């Protein structure tokens, strides 16, 4: 072998190179990628240790005591409806009442044929009327799952403010405004 003749490829060296290549591509790079993304996420998490908004006054590390569950006011009786089409709120507890495809416990008191015996108000005729205006013998499917529309009375604080005024209050306000305007 002379000095300037190219050295023949060394098979051992080639194998080592391939091993290093596989190690880099299959292990090191993926692990580094996971480590970089993970540590970035960790930094973001650390910098948000004090969330605001949804948990007023609390951080993720505090366990504030749960607010009391809103109660059902006792003996408050039936409530006035704020407008004629309002589904009346339920003046009694409905805890544990069964209401599924097979059985509707509400109807054991509120159905047309039992209500007077039980002393409960009958569901109104709208509950027997389907969307074509046809009145059926049974409560129609659209009115079957009572709690879609009726909720029990509760002393819970409203989650969202409302400036709704019943029509009587609106009329009173407008009458007062006109009387004031006339006296000017």
Binding site residues, ligand HEC, CB under 6 A: 77-78, 85, 87-88, 90-92, 94, 97, 99, 104-110, 118-121, 123-124, 126-127, 139, 142-150
The minimum distance between CB 80 and ligand HEC, in angstroms, equals: 9
Residue 44 C-beta: closest distance to ligand HEC, Å? 45
State which residue, 71 or 87, has the beta carbon closest to ligand HEC: 87
Per DSSP, 24 falls in state: I
Beta bridge partners of 90: 152
Would you state the structure tokens that stand for residue 159, as one six-digit string? Answer: 């989650």
**Of 77 and 181, CB closest to ligand HEC:** 77
Q: Collapse the DSSP code of 130 into the 3-class scheme (helix H, G, I; strand E, B; otherwise coil) and give the result.
A: coil
Distance, CA of 147 to CA of 34 (rounded, Å): 49
Cβ proximity to ligand HEC, 64 vs 142, nearer residue: 142
Length of the chain: 184
Cβ burial, residue 124 (10 Å; 0-12/13-18/19+): exposed
Contact 128, 138 (CB under 8 A): yes
- Closest approach of Cβ 122 to ligand HEC, in Å? 7
**Shortest Å distance, C-beta 33 to ligand HEC:** 54
Closer of 56 and 119 to ligand HEC (Cβ): 119
């Amino acid at each position: 072998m002379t000095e300037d003749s190219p050295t023949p490829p060394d098979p051992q060296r080639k194998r080592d190179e391939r091993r290093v290549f596989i190690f880099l591509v299959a292990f090191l790079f993926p692990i580094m990628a996971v480590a970089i993304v993970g540590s970035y996420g960790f930094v973001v998490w650390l910098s948000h240790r004090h969330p605001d908004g949804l948990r007023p006054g609390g951080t993720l590390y505090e366990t504030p005591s749960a607010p009391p569950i809103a109660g059902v006011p006792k003996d408050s009786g039936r409530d006035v409806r704020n407008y004629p089409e309002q589904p009346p709120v339920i003046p009694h507890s409905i805890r544990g009442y069964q209401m599924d495809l097979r059985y509707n416990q509400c109807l054991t008191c509120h159905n047309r044929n039992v209500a007077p015996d039980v002393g409960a108000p009958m569901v109104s005729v709208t509950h027997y009327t389907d969307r074509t205006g046809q009145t059926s013998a049974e409560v129609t499917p659209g009115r079957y799952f009572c709690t879609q529309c009726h909720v029990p009375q509760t002393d819970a604080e409203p989650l969202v403010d409302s400036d709704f005024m019943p029509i009587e209050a609106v009329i009173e306000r407008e009458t007062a405004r006109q009387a004031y305007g006339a006296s000017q």
